[in-house]
Amino acid sequence: MKKSLLLGLTAIMLVGCSSGDGASVATDDGLEKVRVILDWTPNTNHTGLYVAKELGLYEELGLDVEIVQPPEGGALALVGAGQAEFAISFQEELGPAITAQNPLPVVAVASIIDHNVSGIISLEEAGIDSPAKLEGMRYASWDTPFEISIISAIMERDGGDFSNVEVIPNTVTDVISALQTDVDAIWVIKLL
């Protein structure tokens, strides 16, 4: 039962990406060292990883799993460089990473969420209730080609023009404070 639970949790939680180099390191106690880099601050999307670790399920399978908080913009790159075996990522980052002209040597392993949970949000008083109403607004952007293409397309289909949006580099860690002071809209990932 525990092995089934662990395998299920691992398959679900490790949206990771593996460099595929086959390199592994054994610890002094004979466990295989595995590093998992999160996509963000630990949150409910990562619960399965922490539960499996706390229950000792990884050790039962001979794994010493280290869960690591991510550097800014570097989880996938670290896996691609062989510095970790897995990373949690999201569709908006993984797609461009594996389809770029110089793609990262990573592969998608599994999904921890069965549907996309991202979206563009704003405060109600900003009056942004459709993509076209982003015109003239300050938008916090990760400035990825994937993101810009999507927003440009949805604005155009709604009668708007993305070139009329003030794009601000997204360094937001507190979304609500940013919306109250610095930006009018931001693309976020909803925590489950």
Average of per-residue pLDDT across 2-20: 42
Residue 157 has pLDDT above 60, yes or no: yes
Shared domain for 40 and 71, answered yes or no, is: yes
Q: What is the pLDDT of residue 28?
A: 72
> How many structural domains are present in the chain?
2
Shared domain for 78 and 137, answered yes or no, is: no
Segment (H or E) for 180: helix 175-181
Shared domain for 124 and 172, answered yes or no, is: yes
Residue 5 has pLDDT above 60, yes or no: no
Asked if residue 77 belongs to a domain, the reply is yes
Asked if residue 25 belongs to a domain, the reply is no
Shared domain for 74 and 47, answered yes or no, is: yes
Average of per-residue pLDDT across 97-109: 90
Asked if residue 5 belongs to a domain, the reply is no
Q: What is the pLDDT of residue 139?
A: 96
Cβ neighbours for 184, distance < 8 A, ≥ 6 positions apart: 122, 123, 126, 128, 134, 137, 138, 139
Shared domain for 89 and 131, answered yes or no, is: no
Asked if residue 1 belongs to a domain, the reply is no
Residue 20 has pLDDT above 70, yes or no: no
Q: What is the pLDDT of residue 26?
A: 66
Mean pLDDT in the chain? 84
Of the candidates 47, 67, 99, which is a domain's last residue?
Answer: 99
pLDDT classification of 29: cutoffs 50, 70, 90: confident
Asked if residue 111 belongs to a domain, the reply is no
Asked if residue 136 belongs to a domain, the reply is yes
Domain around 75 = 32-99
Asked if residue 3 belongs to a domain, the reply is no
Counting DSSP H helices and E strands in the chain, the numbers are 7, 8
pLDDT classification of 34: cutoffs 50, 70, 90: very high
Length of the chain in terms of residues written: 192
Shared domain for 94 and 125, answered yes or no, is: no
Shared domain for 153 and 91, answered yes or no, is: no
Beta bridge partners of 63: 32
- Asked if 76 and 97 touch (Cβ cutoff 8 Å), the reply is yes
Residue 12 has pLDDT above 60, yes or no: no
Asked if residue 20 belongs to a domain, the reply is no
CATH number of the domain enclosing 157? 3.40.190.10
| Percentage, residues of the chain above pLDDT 70 | 84
pLDDT classification of 170: cutoffs 50, 70, 90: confident
